[in-house]
Structure 1
Amino acid sequence: MFTINPKAAATVAAMGVLALPMGAAQAADAAKERAEVRSMCDEALATLYKAKPGAKEQIAKSAGYGCFSSFGVSLLVGGAGGKGLVHNTATKKDTYMNMGQVSAGLDISIKDYREVLVFKDRQTLEAFVDKGWELTGSGGASAGVEGKGGTAEKGGNVSDKIDIYPMTKTGLSAGGAAAGRKYWKDADLNPK
């Protein structure tokens, strides 16, 4: 006959009860972070539309758009990291993503960076979301957002598939660094 040790049963039950609030807290934290990323995206889009009113129609007709925010420091060599989302126009689904950036070259800056990516076709958008994406050799410049931001950054074959609109809040960016950016799905923020 099988018997259950009452102390062991109480310990297991207590662990289960403790796990529930922790799971709920993690879900609340993820929901809060998703809301913050969505808010950043709305601000970036509003800034872009103010600086370049034609972008609103371009985005409405696109396969989708992405908004990313990062903060980094560069003194000849630098790096940054951030978060963002990609919105699929057809499905109305948001996919939350991470972004990492490294740079090397004539670049001395502190960047609080925002970018809006406009995907020209569904296949590029899906590849970006499903497989991640890596951009290298950036030659674009970021301008302040006081009516001067929103300049398209064109580089390599990306310009055929994605338009990139870089912006900074501070306008402290100067130089022509060769930057590499990598994007990938955020495993913690995307509902399973």
Structure 2
Amino acid sequence: MKKFLVLSLVTLTFILSGCATTGSAPPNEKRNLVKSMRANTLTQLYQQKPDVKQQIASSAGYAVFDNANVNVVLASFGGGYGVVKNNLTGKSTYMNMGEAGLGVGLGVKDFNVVMVFHNQAALNRFVEHGWAFGANADAAAKYEDTGGALVAEAIADQVTVYSLTENGLALQAVLKGTKFWIDSELNR
């Protein structure tokens, strides 16, 4: 069991280092990486759920995040980065995220989240406070184009959330908290 925990932590470190925007690259290059991730994620979501394109166009704004998550028996940890686009002002706000939770599960997965804010108050609340708390149950087994994972959809507090699994193997039921915060380096 001890070896499995160490392996899981090493795997988490590897995953998070592969998808984090930190490092020695200049801020402009990091912003371009986030914009590319956003474009790729939206393209994938529109292919699977074409009606979301109109939903985003008529919303107050949207956010797209890339997240890596590791679940080891009773604990879940994750982190990532993304951007919030305010459709009314045209402003983009770059953000980071981290999450931790408790629950039963085992696995590692890389997934993207798209949040659609149906009014300006919901968007402002997210950018200013950034907390999310909830329960999550899923099963994913996917590597590149092989395997499968559902496009999950949840609606709460004037926000619709879509989750798309990129890669991973996970079976989990977790109660977790997620903190989103503004990336001071990328918003200069």
Q: What range describes the TM-score normalised by the shorter chain of this pair?
A: 0.7 to 0.9
Which structure's residues are more often helix, by fraction?
A: 1
Task: Give the structure 2 partner of residue 92 of structure 1.
Answer: 90
**Aligned residues, how many?**
161
Write the deviation string for residues 26-81 of structure 1: whole angstroms up to 9, x where unpaired: 99610011110111111111111111111111111110000001213111212111
Task: Give the structure 1 partner of residue 46 of structure 2.
Answer: 49
Task: Give the structure 1 partner of residue 167 of structure 2.
Answer: 170
Task: Find the aligned partners of 1:152 and 1:44 in 2 and give their Cα distance.
Answer: 15
Task: Find the aligned partners of 2:123 and 2:160 in 1 and give their Cα distance.
Answer: 12
Which amino acid letter does the alignment assign opposite residue 31 of structure 1? N
Which amino acid letter does the alignment assign opposite residue 119 of structure 2? D
Task: Find the aligned partners of 1:85 and 1:142 in 2 and give their Cα distance.
Answer: 26
Task: Find the aligned partners of 1:113 and 1:180 in 2 and give their Cα distance.
Answer: 17
Q: 1:139 to 1:73 in 2, by over 3 A?
A: closer
Residue 123 of structure 1 pairs with residue 121 of structure 2: yes
What percent of counterpart residues are identical? Answer: 35
Which structure's residues are more often strand, by fraction?
A: 2
Unpaired runs of at least 5, structure 2: 1-22
Unpaired runs of at least 5, structure 1: 1-25
Task: Give the structure 1 partner of residue 15 of structure 2.
Answer: none
Q: State the TM-score, normalized to the length of structure 1.
A: 0.76
Larger Rg computed on CA atoms: 1
Q: 1:52 to 1:117 in 2, by over 3 A?
A: same
Write the deviation string for residues 125-171 of structure 1: whole angstroms up to 9, x where unpaired: 11211x232111223536569685432034xxxx1311110111125
Q: 1:36 to 1:65 in 2, by over 3 A?
A: same
Which amino acid letter does the alignment assign opposite residue 175 of structure 1? Q
Which moves more between the two structures, 164-173 or 55-64? 164-173
Which moves more between the two structures, 166-175 or 88-97? 166-175
Mapped contact 1:78–1:104 kept (Cα < 8 A):
yes
Task: Give the structure 2 partner of residue 151 of structure 1.
Answer: 152
**Equivalent residues in 2 for 1:1-192 (5 A)?**
29-75=26-72, 76-129=74-127, 131-141=128-138, 149-154=150-155, 159-191=156-188
- Displacement, 1:174? 2.0
Look up the SS of the partner of 1:169 in the other structure.
strand
Mapped contact 1:41–1:84 kept (Cα < 8 A):
yes
Write the deviation string for residues 87-140 of structure 1: whole angstroms up to 9, x where unpaired: 0001111100011111210121101121000001001111211x2321112235
Look up the SS of the partner of 2:185 in the other structure.
coil
Q: 1:135 to 1:93 in 2, by over 3 A?
A: same
Which amino acid letter does the alignment assign opposite residue 33 of structure 2? E
Q: How large is the Cα RMSD of the aligned pairs?
A: 2.2
Q: State the TM-score, normalized to the length of structure 2.
A: 0.77
